[in-house]
Chains A and B, each alone.
Chain A
Amino acid sequence: MKAIDVKNITKGFVIPHERRDTLREWIATGFKSHPKDVFKALDDVSFTVDKGEFFGIIGRNGSGKSTLLKVLAGIYPVDSGKVVTHGKISPFLELGVGFNAELSARDNIYLNGTVLGLSKKEIDAQFDDIIAFAELEKFVDQKLKNFSSGMQVRLAFSVAIKAKAEIYLMDEVLAVGDMAFQQKCFEVFREFKKQGKTLIFVSHDLTSVRRFCDRCLYLKQGHEMALGKTEEVLDKYVYEDRQGLNEASAPVHQNKNEIPTKTDNVKIQSVTKQAEITQVRFLDKTDTENDTFISGDAMTVEISIQTRKKISDPVIGIVFFDNNHVECFGTNTELRNETIRCIEGNKVVRFEIEANMILQGDIAVTVAIHSRTGEPYDWHDKKYHFRVMNNTSDVGLVRFPSHWQINPS
């Protein structure tokens, strides 16, 4: 049985060349209509979601995910096409809608609950449950502004799951909260699944999408790129769509600035530049350049070197750091007993990783070339970045190839 049936919906936003917001501007421009551009946030999108299904919507920033969710919720009207929903849809997208920092937790529960369509009676009946689930028994009458963001999220989530609906829409809800709380959320989701509720889940966090969603829709600039089993859609998203990465919206590009590079001045100043690292590329298991990798997959770091004059017996090294500057892994050609006899002109060296053991996170990479005696030719300190997506439910920075062995007792 279908829960949601979306047929050829298109939604555009008008981008006037000159925005006129005031009556004065309208009068000044003589009420003439200006040429307008329509930005199509959703272009001919169709899909159905079955009852009891957990459905994911993925895509990069500006791909239309959130617009689609708003259309489903009825917040945005569509330009053309049709959305049919069967069953009560939860009217909210984000946690803590209407939360007011100046009000107490108690008042916020009533406010948020009412916004979500609960009656006062229903909230009264479930009030203790909500507080207990959020673990905020001691803070019921504290103002929300004194809460940590984690506490606020817990409170919001606890109210949200009380909203009675058959179809839930959730936008990036799991992006926040500590691990223990996330675990709780997962349990709630499992409970939802048991009860046969339908959940539409929008996220950047591919790990949770993989964990929960039966099927996925992959949007790119308002177009449907893929629709089907989560595994297949995610593979397409991560590995086949490189074009999107170069269009300024890829998360890793934004993160580059967030990783401060602690530069080792001594090493940099004394760089002789007899050899120069001209390019470092990260290649995925299909040997194509990428900046996002799935944990456990093979990957390759391709280092291009150019020399001014012939240098002999250089050493090339590579170190991986997580975003707290913790050295995760490092090695060089010398340590691996590899000898590069000499380099003259250009040379490309490949560091091939059979299985990338990083579980998740943004990784910064230092690449260097120096002589056997340690004299640096070129040293790029944490200059290169890639991201690793967790495709498991494990937690942590690295993943050991491992399994549980339980002997029957």
Chain B
Amino acid sequence: MKNSQNYFELVMRLALTDFKMRYQGSVLGFVWTLLKPLLQFLVLYMVFSVFIRLNVPNYQLYLLLGIMIWNYFSEGTNSGLYALLNKSNIIKKVYFPRIVVVFASSVHTLITLSLNLLIFLAFFLLSGKPIHLTALLLLVDLAVLYFLVLGISLCLSVIFLKFRDINQIWEVFLNAAFYLSPIIYPLEFIPAKYRFFLFLNPMTGLIQYARLTVLEGKIPNFSGVIYVVGSTIVILILGLFLFTRFSHKAAEEL
């Protein structure tokens, strides 16, 4: 029953198709991929910089980077949640390792992230800010983010087979986590004694470290990195465990 074949191409093909299909039929097409975070940025920037007048240095870049990283997390996990369901038509008809569809979903959102980062790069260059060598560490940061999203997606996709309301719960959770992560506000606004709790959310670290390395040219502290990487590994292992344990019946439960 095992076909020794390379499933990498299948992952890429499915991801590419999903990306193509996403804005199918809309006039602007994939431009939406770029427009969406920009519009989101504009709204938040208006509210927090013009109305509320937060006084944060480099607020535009600060906010834009935060939004892009958060959007990858939120879209990635959401699309991961539906990964099995959305591909039920092929899961029910063709055998292949089910994990392929979760990989495909994570790659598909990765395409969006890459395009968004190009916009960020454009903004960054226009702003004339100095480019720090530490900015290269952003890639490491994003790699950890990728595995975090993948781990959560693996968990959610199989939980969704059993509990069809997990999507509602996850939506509420994402909404809360958006405000509990330092996306629109700098971490310094939080009283020092509560900051620790904010860091329990690995997204706090991932967003914070991205800004630190790209905008400020600093290297994050070691223990924080260990926690973020450690919790990502734990979630990834949990995801792999749950997925291998429960996905084999996906074809009949969908």
By a beta-carbon cutoff of 8 Å, the part of chain A in contact with chain B is: 13, 21-24, 26, 70, 73-77, 83, 85, 88-89, 91-94, 97-98, 100, 102-103, 107, 110-111, 114-117, 119-120
Task: Please give, as numbers and ranges, the residues of chain B lying within 8 Å of A117 by CB-CB distance.
Answer: 3, 5, 10, 96
Q: Of B3, B89, B93, B165, which one neighbours A24 at CB under 8 angstroms?
A: B165
B20 CB within 8 Å of chain A: yes
Determine whether the beta carbon of B166 is less than 8 Å from that of A111: no
The stretch of B40-48, B73-81, B129-137, B244-252 in contact with A is B244-252
Determine whether the beta carbon of A91 is less than 8 Å from that of B95: yes
Q: Of A22, A91, A116, which one neighbours B163 at CB under 8 angstroms?
A: A22
Interface string of B1-24 (1 = CB under 8 A from A): 101011001100110010011001
Closest chain B residue to A114 by CB distance?
Answer: B13
Task: Please give, as numbers and ranges, the residues of chain B lying within 8 Å of A116 by CB-CB distance.
Answer: 94
Interface string of B83-121 (1 = CB under 8 A from A): 000000111111110000000000000000000000000
Leading 4 A-B pairs by shortest Cβ distance: A22-B165, A74-B95, A114-B13, A74-B1
Q: Of A83, A102, A110, which one neighbours B1 at CB under 8 angstroms?
A: A83
B169 to chain A, nearest CB (A): 7
In chain B between 127 and 185, which residues have their CB closer than 8 angstroms to a CB of chain A? 163-166, 169
B25 CB within 8 Å of chain A: yes
A178 to chain B, nearest CB (A): 24
What is the bound-complex CA distance between A83 and B1, given in angstroms? 8
Closest chain B residue to A67 by CB distance?
Answer: B252
Task: Please give, as numbers and ranges, the residues of chain A lying within 8 Å of B25 by CB-CB distance.
Answer: 102
Task: Please give, as numbers and ranges, the residues of chain B lying within 8 Å of A94 by CB-CB distance.
Answer: 93
Determine whether the beta carbon of A97 is less than 8 Å from that of B163: no
B245 to chain A, nearest CB (A): 13
In chain B between 231 and 254, which residues have their CB closer than 8 angstroms to a CB of chain A? 248-249, 251-252
What is the bound-complex CA distance between A107 and B93, given in angstroms? 20
What is the bound-complex CA distance between A212 and B164, given in angstroms? 44
Task: Please give, as numbers and ranges, the residues of chain A lying within 8 Å of B20 by CB-CB distance.
Answer: 103, 107
What is the bound-complex CA distance between A115 and B92, given in angstroms? 12
Task: Please give, as numbers and ranges, the residues of chain B lying within 8 Å of A100 by CB-CB distance.
Answer: 17, 21
Closest chain B residue to A75 by CB distance?
Answer: B251
Determine whether the beta carbon of B92 is less than 8 Å from that of A75: yes
Determine whether the beta carbon of B252 is less than 8 Å from that of A13: yes
Task: Please give, as numbers and ranges, the residues of chain B lying within 8 Å of A26 by CB-CB distance.
Answer: 163
Do A75 and B95 form a contact, CB below 8 Å, given A26-B163, A119-B6?
Answer: yes
Determine whether the beta carbon of B9 is less than 8 Å from that of A114: yes
